[in-house]
Amino acid sequence: MKISQKGLYALQAMMMLARHYHQGAIKIRDVAYEENLPEKFLELILLELKNARIVESVRGAKGGYHLRRDPADIRLSEIIRLIDGALAPFGDAEQLRVLIDRDVPHRALYQVFLDVRDAAAHILDNTTLADLIVEPAPRSSKGAKKRRNRKKRKESASILPMVVGGQRG
């Protein structure tokens, strides 16, 4: 699976709109500023999301964009498929199944690709915008040391490079 920069920006913008879901329409410039995204590119992305009826635009002084549905009803797979297409490393699941049936010497390889695609699809189909914006509750209350360790892990995780479009970003 390959997520383009456009796909990443779309997910970031949708997360911001989800965080502000009950606040009404948010101006493009505010989304761009809060998420550090290029405003002109964001306009095109939001227009695409609007045409897919995921977001809605409001005109006027209090205008902007807001989610058409509750964040708990918008799955990551829906956004990624809209912006970047199929979730498989190449083609879609049906193409992989055809290759599994026809290309016997490479059947095991294509099955691995299908398994990867299915696992990714399962995770993305079962993760909503609401899942991304809610802070998980601590698993245990074993004291301040665990909280400090968790904070350190979170800080170190935020500096890890992310692969976007096959390149480190």
Could you read off the pLDDT of 47-74 as tens digits, one per residue? Answer: 999 999 999 999 988 889 999 999 999 9
Give pTM, 2 decimals.
Answer: 0.71
Sign of the alpha-carbon torsion through 46, 51, 54, 59: positive
pLDDT of residue 92: 72
Helix, strand, coil percent values for the chain (each to nearest 5): 60, 10, 30
Cβ neighbours for 2, distance < 8 A, ≥ 6 positions apart: 84, 89, 165, 166
Low-confidence stretches of the chain (pLDDT < 50) are: 141, 143-144, 146-148, 150-163, 167-169
pLDDT of residue 61: 85
Tell how strand 64-67 and strand 163-164 pair up. unpaired
pLDDT of residue 168: 47
